[in-house]
Amino acid sequence: MFSSEEWRNKLLQRFLKYVSFHSTSQPGIDMIPSTERQWNIAKYLYEELKTLGLEDVSIDEHGYVMGFIPENKEEKVSTVGFISHFDTSPDFSGENVKPQFRKNYDGSDLLLNKETGFSLKTSEFPELKDHIGETLITTDGTTLLGADDKAGVAEIITAAEYLLVHPEIKHGKIAIGFTPDEEVGKGADLFDVKKFGAEWAYTMDGGEVGELEFENFNAAAAVVSIVGKSVHPGSSKGKMVNAALLAVEFSELLPKNETPATTEGYEGFYHLCSISGSVEKAQLQYIIRDHDFKKFVDKKSLMQKTVDSLNQKYGENTFKIEINDQYFNMKEKIEDKMFMIELAEKAMQEAGIKPKIQAIRGGTDGARLSYMGLPCPNIFAGGLNFHGPYEFVPLESMLKAAEVIVNIAKNVK
């Protein structure tokens, strides 16, 4: 379907154009989009959808872009949607991305930057060898690539163009949406589900080819604030309360075997994202994750109990904690609508792909949207090693993702 040089180039050039936009989002900003730079790619996508001939193309005051492919089937079928985000992670620089190409990859280590010696090594990333013979797009070692999720954006728009120029492929109405601020947990905050009008949708935001996900973490953020007492260290016995040391003590009281570095699969964790402090005050920022809702609640409870215990030890209000839920496991909203998963499985099999149904050790816009009335499992976009300079995406994986989108569209009933 997308094997011709024409469509390979269309998808490749789109992706390269999108990653040229600096669209990093920023946490802790009380507006959407969180950065002005996201408007550049949002406006570009808006104009591109109009040029391709989609209907009712719009961009709202928060940067959400939508468009629709009209149905061309005589019989009425459900409206299905496809969604991706155009912001990139603030975990690593997304400015001035310089993609590197490796055609017909031979399975060896990849030197990405001669000046720094930065390399993608098969000993560290053995998944590279799953893509021998393919065209790999990598970073130059100084930025992330942006395949998360500009690969998804490129796949959706290329599939949309394919459907528009191939009217012999019959399908119902198809809704397309692109969101800002997914990487800072706000991508679905102002998404207009009613305007989108789909009965269900898929986020094209997964990793390796074949990934199909309808389970994700339950997620919360926690901020622990500590107040100390500064006294001259020469005469502080029985008087000083060192907030920085209390921060370390708090951290040590949480389970050592429940961190991102010690868990996998369905195992949850406490992740200390940052710690800062002095004698007078300190702060710890955590994220809490678990697929099992009861275990998730228990994790939040343990953090509160730890604060309460330390306040008994050091005095009331020495420790304060604020815990805010971020998103929940979409499985609760999808498990009685498994036809969506079966449809995606069939679409992958028709494309010669073996589906890999697994739980996300993270979250997507789809997790939030599923609780907003738009059930939204997640499909692979093809990239790997997101959020850093080791990120790469095989062109062939993106082509397969676009094919899956077309297959889903034509098989909707």
Q: Which residues are annotated as catalytic?
A: 87, 182
Across 155-268, the runs of DSSP E, i.e. the strands, are: 174-179, 200-206, 211-215, 218-227
* 75 exposure class (CB count in 10 Å sphere: 0-12, 13-18, 19+): exposed
For the chain, helix, strand, coil in percent to 5 are 35, 25, 40
Q: Is the distance from CB of 323 to CB of 216 less than 8 angstroms?
A: no
Order of strands, edge to edge, in the sheet holding 136-138?
100-102, 136-138, 392-394
- What count of residues does the chain have? 413
Q: Is the distance from CB of 404 to CB of 344 less than 8 angstroms?
A: yes
Helix (H) or strand (E) holding 323: strand 319-327
For residues 325 and 299, what is the distance between their CA atoms, to the nearest angstrom?
Answer: 12
For residues 390 and 122, what is the distance between their CA atoms, to the nearest angstrom?
Answer: 12
Helix (H) or strand (E) holding 32: none
For residues 182 and 387, what is the distance between their CA atoms, to the nearest angstrom?
Answer: 13
266 DSSP assignment:
T
For residues 117 and 102, what is the distance between their CA atoms, to the nearest angstrom?
Answer: 17
Beta bridge partners of 68: 55, 175
Token pair in block for residue 61: 């005051």
Q: Is the distance from CB of 180 to CB of 352 less than 8 angstroms?
A: no
Q: Is the distance from CB of 38 to CB of 180 less than 8 angstroms?
A: yes
CA distances from 331 to 200, 207, 265, 370 (A): 14, 19, 15, 9
Packing angle of the helix pair 293-314, 243-253 (nearest 10 deg): 140
For residues 226 and 322, what is the distance between their CA atoms, to the nearest angstrom?
Answer: 12
